[in-house]
Chains A and B, each alone.
Chain A
Amino acid sequence: AQKITQTQPGMFVQEKEAVTLDCTYDTSDPSYGLFWYKQPSSGEMIFLIYQGSYDQQNATEGRYSLNFQKARKSANLVISASQLGDSAMYFCAMREGRNTGNQFYFGTGTSLTVIP
């Protein structure tokens, strides 16, 4: 089974609007971390936000927030007030276990295009 599933290959959003990128995950480990990365056309992976499995509150980082629904095993990324520079690929990733050195499992990504 896929560890990380992103069902939206492409998304469009109007500038200044909010957009939600979906991510569901599959693990039997009670301890895990969920990540979102942005990958512009240059290729570098830019860390956006992190949610730990034991975190009580949803993570927020500036315009990024993570809608963590543990029972549904979903970790959707919400980008508020979209900007043209937000156009990029977005990857959801999971790391299982308590060891933060463990490998990442990545989803297939969502291509976001912000329309002026």
Chain B
Amino acid sequence: GAVVSQHPSRVICKSGTSVKIECRSLDFQATTMFWYRQFPKKSLMLMATSNEGSKATYEQGVEKDKFLINHASLTLSTLTVTSAHPEDSSFYICSARAHYNEQFFGPGTRLTVL
């Protein structure tokens, strides 16, 4: 099946710094990628939908200036958590939509902000 990777898998950073998370589709082109956030023992919450070459669509309550999304190519979308604070600590998961329309999830990135 199609493969989606995320980098890094884990990141620890100091409060106030920015962190970039990459989501790559390894063997297919993804016109659309989705970014989810998951708190411990909670469900996945959609943050934003990222379309290649256009601005991301953010869900209600998600700060677009806080969570910058760039989908510059058909195989890469990045989520940048700007000026991270401890409350941004979470598990971030992306999914990528293949040209034949099925979606595949990445393995997730665990962010810890000290």
Tell me the B21-57 residues at the A interface (CB within 8 Å): 31-32, 34, 41-46, 49
Assembly CA distance A106 to B37 (angstroms)? 12
Which of the 9-residue segments A24-32, A40-48, A64-72 touches chain B?
Answer: A40-48
Partner of A44, one of B43, B45, B103, B107: B107
> Closest chain A residue to B45 by CB distance?
A106
- Chain A contributes a number of interface residues (CB within 8 A of B) equal to 18
Contact indicator per residue, chain B 63-99, by CB within 8 Å of chain A (1) or not (0): 0000000000000000000000000000101010100
Q: Which of chain A's residues have a CB closer than 8 A to the CB of B95? A: 104
- Chain B contributes a number of interface residues (CB within 8 A of A) equal to 21
Contact A43 B110, CB 8 Å, known A91-B43, A101-B32, A103-B49: yes
Q: Are B101 and A100 in contact (CB under 8 A)?
A: yes
Assembly CA distance A100 to B30 (angstroms)? 13
Assembly CA distance A34 to B24 (angstroms)? 25
Q: Which of chain A's residues have a CB closer than 8 A to the CB of B34? A: 103-104
Assembly CA distance A43 to B102 (angstroms)? 21
Q: Which of chain B's residues have a CB closer than 8 A to the CB of A47? A: 105
> Closest chain B residue to A43 by CB distance?
B108
In the A-B complex, the 9 residue pairs with the closest CB atoms: A100-B101, A101-B97, A45-B105, A43-B108, A44-B107, A106-B44, A106-B43, A108-B43, A101-B101
Write 26 A-B pairs (CB below 8 A) sorted by A numbering. Answer: A37-B105, A43-B91, A43-B107, A44-B107, A44-B108, A45-B93, A45-B108, A47-B105, A89-B41, A91-B44, A99-B101, A100-B97, A100-B102, A100-B103, A101-B31, A101-B32, A101-B101, A101-B103, A103-B46, A104-B34, A104-B95, A104-B103, A106-B45, A107-B43, A108-B43, A111-B41
Interface residues of A (CB under 8 A from B): 37, 42-45, 47, 89, 91, 99-101, 103-104, 106-109, 111
